[in-house]
């Protein structure tokens, strides 16, 4: 099942700089791991914002929730999830 996910990140400005750097490094490592496993299928930066648009490929919304809540920056994110379905006019849907 595919999910379109927008993540807007708002790390507090008063957080310890070393803690911030560690969290960002942990987030990058986790994102690379999940991409390597194929569950984080696409990842794009939103220009001019500390945000991303991602496509996740998982079995259920519950699996997506578990994955998202495991991200190191999750406590600082606003997340919007849209489940996706094949569009009948898409090239991949044509016989």
* pLDDT tens per residue across span 7-29: 999 999 999 999 999 999 999 99
59: nearest Cα among 20, 11, 2 = 2
More confident residue, 4 or 88: 4
Mean pLDDT confidence for 42-67: 98
Specify the CATH class of 2-86 in words. alpha beta
State how far the Cα of 84 lies from the Cα of 9, in Å rounded to an integer: 23
Query: What letter does residue 12 receive in the DSSP assignment?
Result: -
Mean pLDDT confidence for 63-70: 98
pLDDT confidence band for 91 (50 / 70 / 90): confident
State how far the Cα of 94 lies from the Cα of 41, in Å rounded to an integer: 22
State how far the Cα of 31 lies from the Cα of 56, in Å rounded to an integer: 11
The pTM of this model reads: 0.91
**Domains of the chain, residue spans:** 2-86
Q: Average pLDDT over the chain, rounded to whole?
A: 96
Handedness of CA 1, 57, 24, 52 (dihedral sign): negative
């Amino acid at each position: 099942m595919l999910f379109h996910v927008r993540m807007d990140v708002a790390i507090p400005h008063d957080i310890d700089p070393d803690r911030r750097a560690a969290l960002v490094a942990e987030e990058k490592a986790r994102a690379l791991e999940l991409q390597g496993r194929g569950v984080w299928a696409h990842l794009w930066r939103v220009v001019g914002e500390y945000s991303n648009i991602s496509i996740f490929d998982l079995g259920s919304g519950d699996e997506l929730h578990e994955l998202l809540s495991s991200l190191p920056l999750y406590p600082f994110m606003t997340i919007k999830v849209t489940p996706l379905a094949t569009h009948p006019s898409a090239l991949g849907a044509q016989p």
